[in-house]
Structure 1
Amino acid sequence: MSILSRLFGGGGKPQARDEASETYKGCRIVAAPQKAEGGHRVGALIEKEIGGEVKVHNLLRADTVGSLDEAEAFSIRKAKQVIDERGDTLFD
């Protein structure tokens, strides 16, 4: 597998668990870190209903964290930061 595909999500499958979700500013955040070499890559699904339609943004970062629990917590924090910075433009 090339370095680019590993960096941008070409390998692991998201590991979403129901208990790793949260609602923040009208968005549903589901932590979905991906297994990666040396730990778990930070990732989350961010969903929001806009105009009667559910919009989804897939957040995937190159950051890796050792344990799945830590990766889920960091994924939620990173998703909140992105929501704060971009607001509804996240779904454009």
Structure 2
Amino acid sequence: MGLFSWLFSTKKTTETVVIEPIEYNGYLIYPDPQKEGGQFRIAGRICKKIDDTTQTHHFIRSDLLPSKSDAEAFMIKKAQMFIDQTGERMFK
């Protein structure tokens, strides 16, 4: 069995991607577009340290864009607008 296990293995290798955050008004924005049908869905997370605890808000939009860089740029703009409008209430 061990001889042929490598041949029939379904184990997939995963690649770890490091996302560099963008700092905005004390918040960290992590753009992380999701590939979907040849396009990229705008997604990511917004984090802020409050009372020695890092709070995270996951951010996913219905918008699809043709390139990953466009989706990252649009996510940053939308996240900044969301931070301005909502502030720390997003974590409640």
* Structure 1 segment 8-87 matched on structure 2, within 5 A: 17-19=18-20, 21-87=21-87
Q: Percent identity?
A: 36
Higher relative contact order (CA 8 A, sep 6+): 1
Residue 7 of structure 2 is matched in structure 1 by none
Task: Give TM-score scaled by structure 2 length.
Answer: 0.77
The runs of at least 4 aligned residues of structure 1 exceeding 6 Å deviation read none
- What root-mean-square deviation, in Å, do the aligned CA atoms of Structure 1 and Structure 2 show? 1.7
Q: d(CA) in 2 for partners of 1:36 and 1:78?
A: 19
How many residue pairs align between the two structures? 77
Q: Any idea what the Cα deviations from partners look like across 1:56-85, whole Å, max 9, x if unmatched?
A: 000000001110011111111111111011
Give the number of the structure whose alpha-carbon radius of gyration is greater: 2
Which deviates the most, 73-82 or 36-45? Answer: 36-45
